[in-house]
Structures are given as C-alpha cells and as structure tokens.
Structure 1
C-alpha cells in the first residue's frame, strides 16, 4: 500500500476536524492588506478580515502560493517516502496550480500528481475529501487522479449573494453583473462553471431565492454515498432554512465557513451548497 500525502491550498475552506481526520496538508495563500500580508487561516481568520474590510477604504488582494513553498513541502514529504496528490483551486482564478506544477518539474519525480481542481472553496474541498477517502481505500496516486478528474465536472454549486461588489472589485465578475446585483431586493445566484464564477440567475426576495436553490439541487440530484458541503459567511437570511431543508431530505452534508482568500471576494452574507450531481 502506497504511503500517500494529500495536499491542497487554503481556498479549499475545509474545517480543522476534516483536515485532522484525513491528515491533509494545507498551504496558505496570502492576504495583502495595504503594506501588511497575512497567511490565510494562520495569521488572520475570516471574522477579523471582514471587520478590517468594513473599517478600511483599502480593498485587500490575494497572492498565490509560490513555487518555493511547494518545492519545500513536496521535497519534505518525498524524503519521508510519501507519494503526493496535490489538488488546487482553478487555474482560471489563481496561479497556485501553476506554482505546484513548477515545483513538481523542479523535483523531476513521478511520485507527485498535481490536479487543477477547476473549482474553489467547497468545490475544491469536495475533491480533497474524496481523494483522502480514496487514499484510505488503498488506491494508488494515479487511480486517485483518475477518480478526481472523473467527478470534477460533476461538482455543482448554487450560492446566494446579497451583494456582488467584492466579486467585481476582485475581478471575479464583470461590472455589468455587479450592477444587476445592486438592484434593490434582487439576490444573485452564482455558481462555479468551467473553473470560473458565473451568475446563473437573478431572483427577487429570500423565499424565491431559496426555492430557486432547492429546485436546482433537486434537478441535478446528489450522487448517492457522496457528502455535500453547506458553505456560508456572515449572516444570511436563508442559511437556516436551507440547512433545515437538507436535514429534512436526509442529505449528508458538512457545514463549512468561507476562508479569508475566498472571503475577500465573497464579502459577508452569502451561503450555498456544493455537491456532486447524480451522474
């Protein structure tokens, strides 16, 4: 049985309980606030970040994990006899995946598999959890890679935002989409499609928003035996109702809070579900 290490980055937004359970290594992206830089989830948490953003005119930026960090991490585990599966946020959103590939090339080894998750936050988190479970089942790194690439296109999400201002400021959505999001009473339903954030619907009022999200989940269906992730940040008027709906349907889910890198772009008062569709 191969000795395998699962590595991801801080945008996977997985709770400590999951990271400890599966012994997952997380490399932090950087949050840059003016002249100060913070390691995501280590030097700053989401609540501190949102408070700083509320009190400041400066909009923070985020920086990818650099190749040297990956090189040192990979080299350490390879020397300990591990083989590595390294899964990261979409290459369309960050250069982190490219940094991981550079580090692998520098080490010139086939004992490292680097996967472009083509997703972010809990969509990435679902792939990381799946990889960890497959490792426990005894699969080899190439087999894990094949399975992750199989499910990746089937990871679906439905996320409700009260405001798209931060997504626009951070360059994750167009200004045109942002204008729509500021119309009074309109909530925006966003999803990750083809590795990028995209607006999939515009709904007036919380009840219709919730119905839209639930209908989307029901339409796609959740693959039997797979866990889903209920994601949120700050207060949301639909979070409790969505959680109750999932519990009533006996849908297995993990509840996670958005991390700092994703939180820069999401802002507060957002929630939604990431799941593997029934394919």
Structure 2
C-alpha cells in the first residue's frame, strides 16, 4: 500500500485566479488530489445567518491541502519547494483515507433561495420550498462552494425547467444535472470526457430516472436539440462548445455558461454573440463570470 502525504499550505492574501494557477502546477508535479478551504465572505455569512455554514470553523486564510505519494514527493520536492515555499507535511497511510479527507471541508450550503447542497454523509431536514441536492463529489469537480457552480445554481433557480430537454457538458459531480431534475427537466444528458467523473455522476444521480450518461468530447456526434445547454467548464472550451449551438440548441433555448476567468470573458462573450445568441444576465464574483444567453 503506497504511503500518501498531505502538503498543507496557508496563504494570507491570495485571490482565486492565483491559487487556481498554483493548483494546476501542483498537479503537474504529481499531486493527485487537492482540497481548498477559503474564508467565507461577510456577505455569505450575513445571507445565511449561520444556518448553513459552520461559522466556528471559518478559516481566516486560504488553505490548500495537496495529496501526493511519498515517492513522487521526494522526486519533485525541490520544484514543490520553489512553487509554494514553506508548508507543513502530514502523513496518510492509505489511499482511501485521502480520498475521504475532503469530507471535512464539504459542509451544508445554500447557494441561493431554494437549493440546499447536502453532503451525502449528512442529514438535513428541508424547510419549505427548499430543494435538496445530496451529493458526494469524490474526485469530480462540483460541490457548490465555488463561485462558478454556485452562480449557475442561482441562475437555474430563476428559470423554467419543467418538461425541458437539458444537456450538462462537463458535468463533473453531476450537481447541476441534479438541480435541473429537481426543477422539473424531462430529459437530461450528462456528458463528460472523464470516465471517473461519469462514475461519480452516476452514483450521485442513480435515483433520477430521466438521465442518460455519455463519455464524449463536447457535443461531437450528437444531433439532438436541447432547450437548455449547461457548461460549467473553462473559457477556452466554452468557445469551442459555442460552435455546436446552431445544431444543438433549440430556438429560444438557453445557454448557461460558467468557469470563465474575467480576463477571458470578452472572448467568450463575442464568440457566443456571433452564434446569434443574446446575453440575458451575467454574474461576476471575484474573478469568475457566469452568464445566461438566449438563442433568438
């Protein structure tokens, strides 16, 4: 059994775009899993009045926990030292333990007015009109805490999903597909090019009958038209996905996009406009943009 190490790095002042770059470089150096704990903003705390956040454990700094085998760490230690400087090291004897370690950072959250995201290992008694998304993200992206996911859910709450055909491109944990089903979508296609992500989605959505899963590169080879296309991925991939809108998005359909770093928003915006869509709403939080487009 391989021995894993946890590299614990704390930052006093680090914006989201900066730590995303650091995480990408850590993966290049052999890190196999990353957990991020960031301080909740005063706005978030004010909105929920402590009902959904564990306020006592609110960090006053950004903490990155990186999981790496001891062998890989020793090979790449010099490069890791140069990248993140001073850090703490903790040992984990079994792979299964680090795969479960993220659980302590994943708490009950209410990103908007209706959706409540509940970890699969926790119990929660819903209040009136709340919609419960109960998931275990495992190694896939999507817990609802990141602005990209949270703001898609905010826009979804305002939309009519009843009877709609939906495709979730780059579905990750399946959290957005889960939300679409709760809002009344009739048919949902879950797409990811990562087999592990599809497995996680299936585990989270196993109780939902209207969902189909497909390992695919964007919408290649798919001729179906959808009322709603959701893509919480990255700007460059959204630009590529926009080329499918003429074939795959119904007239009057909605294109929900997120995962866009602010400095790439103009490129994404112009590309989608060139496909005959109009911007209906845009949310900017920190360095991230989420937007809703309509096909005229």
TM-score range with shorter-chain normalisation? 0.3 to 0.5
Q: Which has the higher helix share?
A: 1
- Kindly name which structure, 1 or 2, has the bigger radius of gyration based on alpha carbons: 2
Q: Which has the higher contact order (CA 8 A, sep 6+)?
A: 1
Calculate the TM-score normalised by the size of structure 2.
0.35
